[in-house]
């Protein structure tokens, strides 16, 4: 394993940037309704219906199997010696730091290793950079990371700023409450405090919910679970994939209500690197067919394993 | 006495129109003796009351300095150190990955024990001082902090990322609430210390006392001269005793107040003033150290911790107008001078090591940067900070000892003084009364 991997990551565990804004419960920084800086009106709808100009789940068609062509962005990454990936460090089973050995693991992380393997022949040639939800787009746009694998919903508002791969996971937003809560869906949370991360589509969906819950924004999903356990929020609402990871950490919680949004996950890449988007789509396509996607799903999400989300390409 | 409506008798002036001197002149010797007796008794009592009051004011100032403000300031600083170290230690324990190293666990527990014990003694010393509010905050939130750290450990031991979230929460509580409260305790205690020290050493009250002493002495002297002229007795034993008692109380007061003033000013100049300056520098250094770790931990492209480090470095110095230079100046000529100067030198070396850490980290050599910041080594930034912190702690301990011995000596110089001046004033009253009533009796 590349030593960079764990070493870059281990410290991220702590405090990260969240600390600067993280204050004690009750302080304005944590509990104030979230700033809406990321929430353009279009983003408030998780998956707007495809319009004439935007079909969110359609990505660039790969040119055959993954291949590092000279002069491509992949060749630059290979010359650098490692892929730089922006990932989550606190979302159990998708991207989280395993405290047992200080390594990042999860379904998202598997995707990154597969891409590194396609470039280098070695899945561990990766420098992971743990980022929070609201840093995903800026990190991709600035070129600080080559790719973001971070339970990230593809939508039209985001497509204006960054490119996405084809869909590699289908999620939908639901509600998590404590086992003894009478709440059965988002409709029952009017006027109650509901937690999600800053810069996520989930917080926008909470805000847009007809029952008018009070959105509470924090840096990481585990921060939401801390607030729920301390009684500072009545519920957490986000993708069922993420909620399942929270239930796994606290058996005194349950997921309730139907999916009230569709959250197709894509890997985020700069719009300047369309060759890399095609390359990643080729890797994903191979994973869909050679059983690697299913193996990773079975390991991190569980069985039965559904069919992988089909690739949908721009014409 | 004045019969309004009755015509005044020829040759007499209505009493209301007479001045005291005329009244005195018009009164016969027994009347004058009676007046003198009353005047001297009142003056002696006034002297006793004022002298005792001044002494009690100064004694309470001195005992406030020794028993409240200085210990409180020191406790506030110790609490800050312990909590800051607890935060850094837990961060390192999680940084290590895998099973938490036992040495770090012990160090964290020692920090919490230290903070709790200092908090208890500070609360006992504080009473109703302004620091009480901050101490209450510390008492209320310290268990919350410790609880969150334990929850973080429990989750961590289960292999769940939730542990990191609890640690973030705990660290935010420590840095956002506990550390500022501890810093404010020290700042409030320092202000209280200068007020109490001023009360124990200030000049105005002593001048009032001096004026009263001169008046009493003058009246006693004039009374004895007048008695000598009118009664042709060479000495009045009662008044003599009163005079001696007066002189003794004045001498005792002058010597005690002088000694206390010298002791307390010395305690301040060579004790509490350098200690406060050194503690301020130490708190700034602890904060910069935390910034350094957090910059390493934070990989989100946010340079706010590094920006804060540079701000604190600028405040800490050494250099004109900086905390370290102020501390070195304040400690000049004290036992802590050597350690303070060493601290200033180490700070410069630490900044150089910090720049090396940043340059490594900024150039993608994160692993080497962490090693330089956390492992022991002559030019490693973590080790240099530990040396800086150690030098400041030694300087603080040395000057604190100076303060303690001087301030205690000063406070003890007041022993028995308050009771003494009261007893001496009563002796003056008794002397005057006895001396004059004997003369009065001769007119009956």
Range of weakest confidence among A28-32, A149-153, B275-279, B300-304: A28-32
Range of weakest confidence among A49-53, A264-268, B145-149, B398-402: A49-53
- Chain A CB contacts of B305 below 8 Å: 20
Dihedral sign (CA B409, B415, B418, B420): negative
Give the minimum alpha-carbon distance from B160 to chain A in angstroms, rounded to a whole number: 6
Look up tokens 């690197």; give the residue. Answer: A273
pLDDT band at residue B307 under the 50/70/90 scheme: confident
Between CA B147 and CA B155, with CA B150 as vertex, the angle to 5 degrees is: 125
User: For residues B125 and B75, is the Cβ–Cβ distance under 8 A?
Assistant: yes
Cα first-last separation, chain B: 24
The residue among A14, A25, A141 with the most chain B CBs within 10 A of its CB, best to mutate, is A14
Asked whether the beta carbons of residue A17 and residue B370 sit closer than 8 angstroms, the reply is no
CA of residue A159 relative to chain centroid, distance: 15
Whole-angstrom CA distances from B151 to A76, A247, B210, B408 are 44, 17, 65, 45
CB under 8 Å to B375, separation ≥6 — which residues?
B382, B383
Name the residue among A3, A15, A99 with its Cβ closest to that of B161. A99
Asked, as a colleague might, if the bond just before A248 is cis with ω within 30 of 0, I would say: no
Q: How far apart are CA A16 and CA A5, in angstroms?
A: 17
The residue among A99, A195, A220 with the most chain B CBs within 10 A of its CB, best to mutate, is A99
Asked whether the beta carbons of residue B294 and residue A249 sit closer than 8 angstroms, the reply is no
Quickly list DSSP for A185-243.
SGGGGTTSEEEEETT-HHHHHHHH-TT--EEEEESSHHHHHHHHHTTS-SEEEEEHHHH
How many Cβ atoms from other residues are within 10 Å of residue B105's Cβ?
A: 15
Q: How far apart are CA B120 and CA B72, in angstroms?
A: 11
User: For residues A234 and A279, is the Cβ–Cβ distance under 8 A?
Assistant: no
Whether chain A has a CB inside 8 Å of the CB on B161: the answer is yes
Mean pLDDT of chain B: 84
CA of residue B86 relative to chain centroid, distance: 28
Among A89-103, A213-227, B186-200, top mean pLDDT goes to: A213-227
Asked whether the beta carbons of residue A7 and residue B367 sit closer than 8 angstroms, the reply is yes
Interface of B with A in 351-390 (CB under 8 A): 364, 366-367, 370
A vs B: CB pairs below 8 A:
131
- Average pLDDT, integer, range B42-48: 88
Name the residue among A100, A127, A135 with its Cβ closest to that of B98. A100
- Tell me the pLDDT tens digit for each residue of B54-77: 888 888 888 888 888 888 888 999
Asked, as a colleague might, if the bond just before A215 is cis with ω within 30 of 0, I would say: no
Whether chain A has a CB inside 8 Å of the CB on B79: the answer is no
Q: Does residue B268 or residue A162 have the better pLDDT?
A: A162
- Chain A CB contacts of B161 below 8 Å: 89-92, 96-99, 222, 249
- Chain A CB contacts of B302 below 8 Å: 17, 20
Asked whether the beta carbons of residue A139 and residue B301 sit closer than 8 angstroms, the reply is yes
CB under 8 Å to B242, separation ≥6 — which residues?
B40, B44, B220, B427, B428, B429, B430, B431, B432, B435
The residue among B89, B96, B161, B375 with the most chain A CBs within 10 A of its CB, best to mutate, is B161
Q: How far apart are CA A244 and CA B17, in angstroms?
A: 103
- Tell me the pLDDT tens digit for each residue of B329-348: 988 888 888 999 999 999 99
Q: How far apart are CA B246 and CA B227, in angstroms?
A: 19
- Chain B CB contacts of A141 below 8 Å: none
Largest interatomic CA distance in chain A? 60
CA of residue A42 relative to chain centroid, distance: 19
A91 has a pLDDT exceeding 80: yes
What pLDDT, on the 0 to 100 scale, is given for residue A23?
A: 30
Q: How far apart are CA B131 and CA B116, in angstroms?
A: 16
Asked whether the beta carbons of residue B164 and residue A3 sit closer than 8 angstroms, the reply is no
What pLDDT, on the 0 to 100 scale, is given for residue A108?
A: 96
What pLDDT, on the 0 to 100 scale, is given for residue B297?
A: 64
The residue among A4, A8, A9, A24 with the most chain B CBs within 10 A of its CB, best to mutate, is A24
Residue B148 CA neighbour count, 13 Å, CB half:
25
Interface of A with B in 125-144 (CB under 8 A): 127, 129-132, 135, 139, 142, 144
- Tell me the pLDDT tens digit for each residue of B262-279: 888 888 888 888 988 998
Whether chain B has a CB inside 8 Å of the CB on A97: the answer is yes
Give the minimum alpha-carbon distance from B274 to chain A in angstroms, rounded to a whole number: 33
- Tell me the pLDDT tens digit for each residue of B146-196: 999 999 999 988 888 898 889 888 988 998 999 999 999 988 988 888 888
List, edge to edge, every strand of the sheet that includes A235-239. Answer: A214-218, A193-197, A235-239, A173-178, A253-256
Q: How far apart are CA B109 and CA B115, in angstroms?
A: 10
Asked whether the beta carbons of residue B95 and residue A11 sit closer than 8 angstroms, the reply is yes
Nearest chain B residue to A96 by CA: give it. B161
Interface of A with B in 4-23 (CB under 8 A): 4, 6-8, 10-20, 22-23
Quickly list DSSP for B174-220.
IIIIIHHHHHHHHHHHHHHHHHHHHHHH-SHHHHHHHHHHHHHHHHH
Q: Among A129, A143, A136, which Cα is nearest to A11's?
A: A129
A82 has a pLDDT exceeding 70: yes
What pLDDT, on the 0 to 100 scale, is given for residue B253?
A: 87
pLDDT band at residue B254 under the 50/70/90 scheme: confident
Q: How far apart are CA B245 and CA B284, in angstroms?
A: 55
How many Cβ atoms from other residues are within 10 Å of residue B265's Cβ?
A: 15
A16 has a pLDDT exceeding 50: no
Asked whether the beta carbons of residue B169 and residue A223 sit closer than 8 angstroms, the reply is yes
Range of weakest confidence among A198-212, B10-24, B119-133: B10-24
How many Cβ atoms from other residues are within 10 Å of residue B140's Cβ?
A: 11
Nearest chain B residue to A82 by CA: give it. B364
Asked whether the beta carbons of residue B366 and residue A249 sit closer than 8 angstroms, the reply is no
Give the minimum alpha-carbon distance from B107 to chain A in angstroms, rounded to a whole number: 19
Give the minimum alpha-carbon distance from B195 to chain A in angstroms, rounded to a whole number: 34
- Chain B CB contacts of A7 below 8 Å: 366-367, 370
* A64 φψ region: left (φ > 0), alpha (ψ -120 to 50), beta (else): left
Kind of pairing, strands A147-149 and A173-178?
unpaired
- Chain B CB contacts of A127 below 8 Å: 364
User: For residues A89 and A13, is the Cβ–Cβ distance under 8 A?
Assistant: yes
SS3 A1: coil
List, edge to edge, every strand of the sheet that includes A103-105. Answer: A90-91, A95-98, A103-105
Whether chain A has a CB inside 8 Å of the CB on B302: the answer is yes
């Amino acid at each position: 394993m590349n030593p960079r991997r764990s070493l870059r990551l281990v410290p991220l565990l702590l405090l990260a940037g969240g600390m600067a804004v993280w204050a004690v419960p009750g302080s304005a920084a944590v509990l104030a309704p979230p700033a809406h800086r990321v929430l353009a009106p279009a983003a408030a709808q998780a998956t707007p219906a495809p319009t004439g100009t935007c079909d969110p789940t359609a990505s660039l068609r790969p040119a055959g199997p993954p291949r590092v062509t000279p002069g491509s962005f992949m060749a630059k990454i290979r010359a650098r010696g490692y892929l730089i990936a922006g990932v989550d460090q606190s979302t159990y089973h998708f991207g989280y730091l395993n405290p047992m050995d200080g390594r990042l693991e999860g379904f998202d992380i598997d995707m990154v290793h597969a891409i590194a393997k396609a470039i280098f022949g070695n899945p561990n040639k990766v420098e992971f950079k743990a980022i929070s939800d609201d840093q995903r787009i800026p990190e991709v746009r600035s070129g600080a990371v080559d790719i973001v694998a971070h339970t990230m919903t593809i939508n039209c508002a985001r497509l204006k700023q960054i490119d996405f791969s084809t869909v590699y996971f289908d999620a939908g937003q639901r509600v998590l409450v404590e086992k003894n809560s009478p709440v059965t869906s988002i409709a029952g949370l009017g006027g109650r405090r509901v937690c999600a991360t800053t810069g996520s589509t989930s917080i926008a969906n909470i805000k847009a919910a007809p029952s008018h819950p009070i959105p509470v924004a924090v840096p990481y999903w585990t921060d939401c679970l801390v607030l729920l356990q301390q009684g500072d929020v009545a519920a957490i609402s986000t993708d069922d994939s993420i909620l399942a990871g929270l239930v796994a950490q606290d058996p005194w919680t349950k997921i309730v209500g139907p999916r009230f949004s569709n959250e197709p996950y894509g890997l985020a890449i700069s719009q300047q690197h369309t060759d890399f988007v095609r390359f990643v789509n080729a890797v994903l396509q191979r994973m869909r067919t050679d059983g690697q996607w299913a193996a990773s799903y079975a390991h991190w999400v569980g069985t039965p394993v559904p069919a992988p989300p089909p690739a949908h390409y721009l014409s | 006495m004045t019969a309004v409506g009755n015509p005044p008798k020829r040759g007499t002036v209505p009493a209301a129109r007479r001045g005291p001197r005329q009244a005195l002149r018009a009164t016969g010797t027994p009347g004058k003796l009676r007046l003198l007796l009353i005047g001297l008794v009142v003056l002696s009592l006034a002297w006793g009351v004022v002298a005792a009051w001044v002494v009690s004011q100064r004694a309470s100032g001195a005992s406030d300095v020794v028993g409240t403000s200085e210990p409180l300031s020191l406790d506030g600083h110790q609490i800050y150190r312990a909590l800051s170290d607890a935060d850094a230690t837990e961060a390192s324990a999680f940084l290590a990955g895998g099973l938490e190293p036992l040495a770090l666990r012990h160090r964290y527990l020692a920090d919490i024990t230290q903070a709790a014990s200092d908090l208890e003694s500070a609360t006992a010393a504080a009473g109703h001082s302004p620091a009480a509010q901050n101490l209450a905050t510390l008492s209320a939130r310290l268990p919350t902090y410790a609880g969150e750290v334990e929850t973080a450990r429990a989750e961590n031991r289960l292999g769940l990322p939730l542990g990191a979230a609890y640690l973030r929460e705990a660290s935010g509580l420590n840095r956002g609430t506990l550390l500022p409260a501890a810093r404010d305790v020290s700042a409030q205690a320092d202000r209280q210390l200068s007020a109490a020290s001023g009360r124990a050493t200030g000049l105005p009250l002593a001048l009032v006392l001096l004026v009263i002493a001169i008046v009493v002495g003058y009246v006693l002297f004039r009374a004895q001269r007048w008695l000598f002229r009118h009664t042709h007795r060479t000495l009045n034993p009662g008044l003599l005793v009163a005079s001696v008692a007066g002189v003794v109380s004045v001498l005792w007061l002058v010597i005690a107040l002088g000694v206390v003033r010298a002791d307390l000013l010395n305690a301040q100049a060579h004790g509490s003033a350098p200690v406060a300056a050194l503690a301020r520098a130490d708190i700034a250094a602890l904060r910069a150290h935390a910034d350094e770790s957090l910059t390493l931990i934070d990989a989100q492209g946010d340079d706010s911790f590094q920006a804060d480090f540079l701000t604190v470095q600028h405040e800490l110095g050494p250099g004109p107008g900086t905390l370290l230079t102020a501390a070195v100046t304040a400690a000049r000529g004290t036992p802590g001078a050597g350690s303070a100067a060493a601290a200033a030198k180490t700070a410069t070396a630490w900044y150089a090591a910090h720049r090396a850490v940043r340059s490594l980290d900024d150039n993608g050599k994160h692993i080497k940067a962490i090693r330089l910041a956390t492992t022991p080594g002559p030019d490693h930034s973590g080790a240099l900070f530990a040396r800086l912190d150690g030098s400041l702690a030694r300087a603080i301990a040395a000057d604190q000892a100076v303060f303690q011995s001087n301030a205690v000596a000063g406070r003890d110089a007041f022993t028995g003084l308050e009771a003494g001046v009261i007893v001496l004033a009563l002796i003056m009253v008794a002397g005057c009364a006895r001396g004059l009533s004997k003369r009065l009796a001769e007119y009956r």
